[in-house]
Every structure is written in C-alpha cells, then in structure tokens.
C-alpha cells in the first residue's frame, strides 16, 4: 500500500510472497524487449554494451520467427507491451517498421516504446510513430553541450547535442500539430564526472521542453562499470547516490527528483517475470537488458521449438534470487519497497562471486528520515491546502 511501518511479521511476509508469485507468473500480460541490432552509432564512455557492439542485424527469417512467437504470446487477448532497444534501434528502423506492421495485422492489443540516443529521430521517422504504436520515447542527454558531446560522441560526429535537441524539437512540433500523444523521457546519466551540471541541465531542458519528463539515471558502482569508468572513480556508490539527491534539494530545490521510496512492483522487472523476455537480433533470448550481447547469458532462442533451453539460468532469475528467501533481505525494513535491488546484480553476487551493493539509497544513517522530510516539505509547497492532511 506504499505505507512505511515498523517491522514485518511472518504473516505479512507470507502474503507479500504470494502477491509476488502471482505477479511474477502472471500470463495475462507480457513485456517483450526487441533488439533489432547490436550495432550503434555512438560510443558512450560508460556504456556497458561497449565491448558487445557488433554490426549484427535481424534477418527476415528471425523476423518471421519473432512474429510467430508474438502471436503465441498474445493468444486469448493477452496484453503485450513492446520495448525497442539496442544497440541503437533506429539503425534498424526499416526492421522496426516491418515488424510493427506485421504485428498490426495480428489484431492484438499492444503498445510500444523505444529507447534511442535520438540522433536519427528525424521527421521521416517521427511521422510513423503513431502507425508503429510507439507512445513513449526515452532519450539520454548527459549534461550541458560540451559535457554531453564528450560523454556521448557519434562515431564520426562528436557534436551530437544540438542534433538530438533539434530532433526533440521536431518531435514536439509534429505531435502538437497532429494532436498525437507521445510521452518523452529525457534521462541524464549522472556520475561523479558530471553531477555538478545536473541541475543546470535539468532546468534548461525543462525550459525548452516543458512536456518532457527529465530525470537522473545513476551510473552505479557495479560490475557493469568495471573498466568503463576510470576504475570506477566516476561511478556512484549507494552513499554517493543519496548524497547527490540531498545536495540537489539543498542547492537547487526541485529538479525532477523523487525522494519518497519508489515502488517498482513486488515482482521486480522484466528479468524476474515468467512471461517477459528480451529478444536479440538473432532470436536469442535474455532475461535482462544488461545481458544483451553476452553469449553466456543467453537463455534460449525463438528459432527453437522449446524457446528456453538454459533452464538453470532461467530459474535462477525467477527463483534463485527471490529476496523473500534471502536472510538479509527478508528481515529488512526496506523490503518489499526496494524489490531486493537489481536482479542482475543479485545474480552476479550469488552465482558469479561478485560483491555488488544492491540496497536502496534510502538505507543509511538517518537517510530515510531526511528523504521523507524533503518529500513532506515538497508536498507542503505544492499543496498548501493539505497542511493538515498530507497526501503521499
């Protein structure tokens, strides 16, 4: 219910486990992440896929197998949510169009979103968004122009900032004039190298694009940042993350940050849901976005009749890292709000000998208390009429 309370007894824990299981094994809806290519036109300094970028593109054969897979997944009126991801998915734009048009012919209930660097999001592509049922776009802008261009360079054009912002301008102009509802999330990946620019970048982006959702993406101190971040000197620890949030409020007041513990759903993310999959350009199946391009994390292939062939890995994600079975987690004050932390990090900790911090940034000496005070103050500021009855 989103209520913070003292302690969790066995009865409540058992109920939470049941709710988690029902959500995890729900077959009435499915989230499908499609990777049409592993290729990318950017070489971002912190990218966890950097060593996996390959000129591999989905073929007609794999596309046909994918359509059959989607048809099976959507039988009986089941809901389907598609996420286009990469690599850079717009490098395979024609494939996205082809797949989407075939899905449209299946006459199923589905929506889609795309995560793109935005460099190729020109008017020609924007005009087809409605037909492709893409109603949400995520684009990353990493600080002010000079910083962004250093962190997110194109293979040949090291000044990507203005091209992306001009494309966003075109997106909003077109959707407004054609009465199309597209949600745009602008993510600012934040670490110790650009954290001082976050508030300025946030304010300038919101000024230019007031309808966009602008928020920070924390570059965490985890296994994925190894050798990509000056030996992790730029990445945020849990303490760094909480200090960043508190500093932003103290110096900039409101810059798109949520201080109340975020509820992501008790079953976690795509990686820990039975009916959610990530499909690569060769039909390979992964549990998690972070696994894309990593051969040892492939769970199966849509070209195979059984689909899932690596049942050990499959069940590790579903059951092996259940926070309700972990002694540290199940007795923790922050479960279930935190969800146990990133499932992939928990996989690496339990089965691959890593020691990655998975706890929420709210965990720390008086950190939660400070965060809740800020949340309360922000509520008072925006809804002074609710002084006697704060709604959270």
In whole angstroms, give the CA distance from residue 260 to residue 367.
Answer: 11
Question: What CATH number did the domain enclosing 104 receive?
Answer: 3.20.20.70
CB 212 within 8 A of CB 168: yes
Mean pLDDT for the stretch of residues 257-274: 82
**Same domain? 191 vs 233:** yes
In whole angstroms, give the CA distance from residue 67 to residue 223.
Answer: 34
Q: Which helix (H) or strand (E) holds 238?
A: helix 238-252
Closest CA to 143 of 152, 135, 155: 152
**Same domain? 253 vs 385:** yes
pLDDT in tens, 81-113: 999 999 999 999 999 999 999 999 998 889 999
Beta-bridged to residue 184, according to DSSP, are 137
Phi, psi of 107 (to 5 degrees): 55, 50
**Same domain? 227 vs 249:** no
Residue for token digits 């030996």? 231
* Band (68; pLDDT cuts 50, 70, 90): very high
Return mean pLDDT, the chain.
89
For residue 258 the two structure tokens come to: 């949520």
Q: Indicate if the pLDDT at residue 266 is higher than 80.
A: no
| pLDDT at residue 3, rounded to an integer | 67
In whole angstroms, give the CA distance from residue 70 to residue 278.
Answer: 12
pLDDT in tens, 217-227: 999 876 554 44
Q: What is the arrangement of strands in the sheet containing 79-84, beginning at the earlier edge strand?
A: 213-218, 183-190, 134-140, 110-115, 79-84, 29-34, 277-279, 284-286, 300-301
**Same domain? 341 vs 219:** no
For residue 89 the two structure tokens come to: 């998915």
Q: Indicate if the pLDDT at residue 292 is higher than 70.
A: yes
**Same domain? 316 vs 336:** no
In whole angstroms, give the CA distance from residue 330 to residue 348.
Answer: 19
> What is the pTM for the complete model shown?
0.90
Q: Indicate if the pLDDT at residue 386 is higher than 60.
A: no
Choosing from 277, 301, 322, the residue where a domain stops is: 322
How much of the chain, in percent, has pLDDT values that exceed 90? 65
**Same domain? 41 vs 185:** yes
**Same domain? 289 vs 364:** no
**Same domain? 94 vs 178:** yes
pLDDT in tens, 142-196: 999 999 999 999 998 778 999 999 999 999 999 999 999 999 999 999 999 899 9
Question: For residue 57, what are the domain limits?
Answer: 26-237+267-322
Q: Indicate if the pLDDT at residue 209 is higher than 60.
A: yes
CB 139 within 8 A of CB 130: no
| pLDDT at residue 104, rounded to an integer | 93
In whole angstroms, give the CA distance from residue 82 to residue 132.
Answer: 11
**Same domain? 103 vs 244:** no
Q: How many CA atoms lie within 13 A of 46 on its CB side?
A: 28
**Same domain? 21 vs 107:** no
Phi, psi of 279 (to 5 degrees): -110, 125
Q: How many CA atoms lie within 13 A of 163 on its CB side?
A: 15
For residue 382 the two structure tokens come to: 């925006």
Question: Which is more confidently placed, 361 or 9?
Answer: 361
Determine whether 369 is exposed, middle or buried from the number of CB atoms within 10 Å of its CB (0-12, 13-18, 19+).
exposed
In whole angstroms, give the CA distance from residue 9 to residue 27.
Answer: 30
Q: Indicate if the pLDDT at residue 391 is higher than 70.
A: no
| CA angle, residues 142, 146, 152, in degrees to nearest 5 | 45
**Same domain? 60 vs 136:** yes
In whole angstroms, give the CA distance from residue 390 to residue 392.
Answer: 6
Number of domains in the chain: 2
Q: How many CA atoms lie within 13 A of 264 on its CB side?
A: 18
**Same domain? 57 vs 140:** yes
Determine whether 203 is exposed, middle or buried from the number of CB atoms within 10 Å of its CB (0-12, 13-18, 19+).
middle
């Amino acid at each position: 219910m989103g209520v913070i309370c003292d302690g969790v007894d066995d009865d409540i824990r058992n109920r939470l486990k049941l709710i988690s299981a029902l959500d995890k094994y729900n077959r009435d809806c499915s989230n499908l992440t499609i990777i049409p290519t592993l290729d990318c036109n950017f070489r971002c300094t912190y990218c966890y896929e950097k060593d996996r970028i390959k000129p591999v593109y989905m073929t007609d054969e794999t596309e046909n197998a994918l359509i059959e897979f989607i048809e099976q997944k959507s039988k009986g009126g089941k809901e389907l949510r598609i996420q286009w991801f990469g690599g850079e998915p717009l490098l395979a734009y024609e494939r996205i169009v082809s797949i989407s048009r075939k899905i449209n012919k299946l006459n199923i209930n589905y929506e889609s979103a795309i995560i793109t660097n935005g460099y190729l999001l020109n008017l020609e592509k924007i005009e087809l968004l409605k037909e492709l049922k893409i109603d949400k776009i995520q684009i990353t802008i990493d600080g002010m122009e000079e910083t962004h261009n250093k962190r997110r360079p194109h293979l040949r054009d090291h000044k990507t900032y203005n091209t992306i912002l001009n494309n966003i301008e075109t997106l909003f102009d077109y959707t407004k004039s054609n009465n199309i509802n597209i949600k745009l999330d602008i993510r600012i990946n934040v670490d110790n190298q650009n954290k001082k620019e976050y508030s300025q970048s946030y304010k300038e982006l919101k000024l230019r694009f007031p309808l966009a959702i602008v928020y920070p993406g924390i570059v965490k101190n985890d296994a994925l940042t190894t050798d990509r971040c000056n030996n992790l000197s730029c990445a945020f620890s849990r303490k760094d993350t909480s200090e960043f949030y508190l500093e932003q409020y103290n110096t900039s007041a409101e810059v798109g940050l949520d201080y109340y513990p975020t509820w992501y759903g008790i079953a976690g993310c795509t990686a820990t849901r039975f009916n959610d999959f990530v499909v690569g350009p060769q039909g390979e199946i992964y549990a998690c976005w972070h696994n894309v391009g990593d051969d040892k994390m492939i769970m199966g292939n849509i070209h195979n009749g059984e689909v899932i062939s690596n049942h050990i890995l499959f069940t590790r994600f579903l059951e092996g890292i259940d926070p309700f079975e972990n002694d540290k987690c199940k007795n923790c004050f922050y479960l279930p709000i935190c969800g146990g932390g990133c499932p992939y990090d928990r996989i690496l900790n339990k089965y691959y000998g890593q020691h990655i911090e998975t706890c929420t940034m709210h965990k720390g000496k008086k950190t939660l208390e400070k965060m809740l005070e800020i949340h309360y103050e922000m509520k008072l500021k925006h809804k002074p009429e609710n002084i006697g009855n704060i709604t959270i």
